[in-house]
């Protein structure tokens, strides 16, 4: 049953949710992520739970479209650092950002490119 359930999760990656019988003991396994996942997929799997599927934030983390995240204020290096090391609460009241687990250097570079492209396309909130 457990193996079937894990397979169902892998198969439903794009949906993100799967029904695994309530008595199934598997508790929220990490969202599977292919090594060659593109930036959008990395974002959805590793960032969206806090920063929002649409980048506009949740009650767990700030919008990535806030003007404080424009490249001149938070350059790519601060993205790398936040992802690898986490970030102490300092701009908002959401608490600390924990280091992002289970992400490769290549995935980090791709997710930064994705976020920058979204910021460019959607514009920053003022």
Residues making contact with ligand HEC (CB under 6 A): 46-47, 49-51, 60-62, 74, 78-79, 82-83, 87, 89-92, 94-95, 97-98, 100, 111, 115
Which residue's CB is nearer to ligand HEC, number 18 or number 81? Answer: 81
Burial class (CB in 10 A: 0-12, 13-18, 19+), 111: buried
Q: CB neighbours of 16 closer than 8 A, spacing ≥ 6?
A: 31, 44
The pair of three-digit structure tokens given for residue 27, joined into one six-digit string: 């508790």
CB of 54 to ligand HEC, least distance (A): 14
Which residue's CB is nearer to ligand HEC, number 9 or number 45? Answer: 45
CB of 23 to ligand HEC, least distance (A): 28
The pair of three-digit structure tokens given for residue 40, joined into one six-digit string: 């959008």
Q: How many CA atoms lie within 13 A of 8 on its CB side?
A: 12
The pair of three-digit structure tokens given for residue 70, joined into one six-digit string: 């424009």
Cβ atoms 62, 52 nearer than 8 A? no
CB of 28 to ligand HEC, least distance (A): 13
Which residue's CB is nearer to ligand HEC, number 94 or number 124? Answer: 94
Which residue's CB is nearer to ligand HEC, number 5 or number 116? Answer: 116
CB of 111 to ligand HEC, least distance (A): 5
């Amino acid at each position: 049953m457990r193996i079937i359930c894990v397979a169902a999760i892998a198969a439903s990656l794009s949906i993100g949710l799967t029904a695994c019988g309530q008595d199934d003991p598997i508790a929220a396994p990490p969202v599977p992520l292919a090594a060659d996942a593109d930036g959008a997929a990395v974002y959805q799997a590793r960032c969206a739970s806090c920063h929002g599927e649409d980048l506009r934030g949740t009650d767990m983390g700030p919008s990535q479209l806030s003007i404080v995240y424009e490249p001149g204020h938070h350059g790519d290096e601060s993205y790398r650092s936040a992802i690898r090391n986490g970030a102490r609460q300092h701009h908002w009241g959401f608490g600390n950002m924990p280091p992002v687990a289970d992400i490769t250097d290549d995935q980090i570079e791709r997710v930064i490119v994705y976020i920058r492209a979204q910021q460019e396309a959607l514009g920053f909130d003022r």
